[in-house]
């Protein structure tokens, strides 16, 4: 891909106006700004933001469609314009610390036609990358660049050709595990996922459990993910391992109740199109250090 055109999507629920303004200011300071920016108000009106480079589109959704649904709305806008090759999606409370992020993104995608996803390194205010933010088992080696099997939703870049081939975000997930569903589809279609620690997104240190629906949606979406994407023999293995991990990690009785309700919901409700990955993809993920059961 020569000289790819970059579009940026920021989805906000309207509860972080100062953080969004700081993020957009860091976007405006990039030495190679994006060609297009789409700001999505996820069920909320959007305020006036500072002047931004490129073509800016403000999209106010009537209802909160969740993280993946809001991103899909932004992607649909970029797709309608027809001139975006790579979409960069940024959490509305993130911050680009360096001013060469989009330049690096362009060069990465220009150099590899099968590069589908680039995951950024996410670090807190003190520069520390938490283990759960490193897409490798155990969160090891946060500064090591290389191919991986997943990515973080807070800061990443996606090939529009990849999205056109494998599909957009799973909107029904609403929150949690949508990145894994997209990553597994991309890998199964032969696209590469790269973790690039030189691309830094500063993000406040928070726990996903701060969201009221965290335990329920985590369990429900885990079951949906396994039902949609795994070969039949791996479904009980994957869910059994994660059930054990949840029981060992969770200290909240209320959280466990919500998790159990979500787990049952995942089995009782439709999971969407079932398109299990090929065993060749399972082997590829295992060689990268993360077979789809851990």
pLDDT digits (tens, 9 = 90+) for 45-76: 999 888 898 899 999 999 999 999 999 999 99
CATH number at residue 119: 3.90.550.10
Tell whether 97 and 232 lie within a shared domain. Answer: no
Tell whether 60 and 103 lie within a shared domain. Answer: yes
Tell whether 195 and 221 lie within a shared domain. Answer: no
Tell whether 33 and 87 lie within a shared domain. Answer: yes
Q: Is the pLDDT reported for residue 207 higher than 80?
A: no
* Structure tokens that stand for 12 in this block: 């906000």
Tell whether 185 and 115 lie within a shared domain. Answer: yes
| Percentage of residues in the chain having pLDDT higher than 70 | 97
The pTM assigned to this predicted structure is 0.95
Taken in order 53, 156, 272, 282, is the CA torsion positive or negative? positive
Tens digits of per-residue pLDDT, 178-193? Answer: 999 999 999 999 999 9
pLDDT score at 208? 62
Tell whether 58 and 183 lie within a shared domain. Answer: yes
Mean pLDDT of 211-235: 93
Instruction: Please say which residue of 206, 227, 256 terminates a domain.
Output: 206
Mean pLDDT of 28-32: 95
Residue 58 domain-assigned? yes
Instruction: Please say which residue of 182, 206, 230 terminates a domain.
Output: 206
pLDDT score at 184? 98
Top-confidence residue, 52 or 138 = 52
Tell whether 199 and 213 lie within a shared domain. Answer: no
Nearest to 10 by CA among 33, 32, 42: 42
State CA 283 to chain mean position distance.
23
Residue 184 domain-assigned? yes
Residue 237 domain-assigned? yes
Tell whether 48 and 140 lie within a shared domain. Answer: yes
Q: Is the pLDDT reported for residue 209 higher than 60?
A: no
Q: In whole angstroms, what is the distance from residue 192 CA to residue 199 CA?
A: 17
Residue 54 domain-assigned? yes
What is the domain range of residue 233?
209-276
Instruction: Please say which residue of 185, 206, 227 terminates a domain.
Output: 206
Tell whether 162 and 62 lie within a shared domain. Answer: yes
Tell whether 213 and 202 lie within a shared domain. Answer: no
pLDDT score at 148? 97
Top-confidence residue, 138 or 290 = 290
Q: Which helix (H) or strand (E) holds 27?
A: helix 17-28
Q: Is the pLDDT reported for residue 127 higher than 70?
A: yes
Domain count along the chain: 2
Q: In whole angstroms, what is the distance from residue 231 CA to residue 226 CA?
A: 8
Q: Do 36 and 78 meet the contact criterion of CB atoms below 8 Å apart?
A: yes
pLDDT score at 1? 56
pLDDT score at 51? 85
pLDDT score at 212? 54
Residue 105 domain-assigned? yes
Mean pLDDT of 149-158: 96
User: If pLDDT is split at 50, 70 and 90, which confidence band does 234 have?
Assistant: very high
Tens digits of per-residue pLDDT, 274-289? Answer: 999 999 999 999 999 9
Tell whether 143 and 252 lie within a shared domain. Answer: no
Residue 261 domain-assigned? yes
42: left (phi over 0), alpha (psi -120 to 50) or beta: beta
Tell whether 164 and 59 lie within a shared domain. Answer: yes
């Amino acid at each position: 891909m020569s000289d790819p055109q970059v579009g940026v999507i920021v989805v906000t629920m309207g509860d972080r106006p100062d953080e969004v303004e700081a993020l957009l200011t860091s976007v405006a300071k990039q030495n190679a700004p994006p060609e297009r920016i789409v700001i999505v108000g996820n069920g909320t009106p959007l305020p006036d933001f500072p002047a931004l480079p490129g073509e800016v589109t403000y999209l106010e959704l009537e209802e909160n469609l969740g993280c993946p649904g809001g991103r899909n709305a932004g992607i649909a806008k970029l797709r309608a314009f027809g001139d975006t090759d790579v979409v960069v999606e940024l959490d509305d409370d993130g911050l680009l610390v360096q001013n060469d992020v989009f330049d690096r993104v362009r060069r990465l995608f220009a150099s590899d036609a099968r590069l589908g996803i680039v995951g950024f390194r996410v670090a807190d205010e003190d520069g520390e990358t938490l283990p759960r933010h490193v897409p490798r088992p155990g969160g090891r080696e946060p500064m090591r660049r290389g191919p991986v099997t997943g990515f973080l939703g807070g800061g990443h870049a996606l090939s529009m050709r990849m999205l056109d081939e494998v599909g957009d975000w799973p909107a029904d997930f609403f929150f949690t595990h949508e990145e894994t569903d997209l990553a597994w589809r991309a890998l199964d279609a032969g696209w590469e996922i790269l973790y690039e620690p030189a691309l830094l997104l500063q993000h406040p240190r928070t726990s996903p459990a701060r969201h009221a629906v965290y335990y329920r949606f985590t369990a429900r979406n885990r079951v949906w993910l396994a039902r949609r994407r795994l070969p039949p023999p791996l479904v009980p293995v994957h869910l059994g391992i994660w059930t054990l991990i949840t029981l060992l990690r969770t200290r909240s009785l209320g959280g466990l109740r919500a998790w159990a309700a979500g787990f049952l919901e995942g089995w009782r409700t439709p999971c969407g199109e079932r398109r299990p990955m090929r065993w060749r993809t399972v082997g590829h993920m295992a060689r990268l250090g993360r077979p789809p059961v851990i």
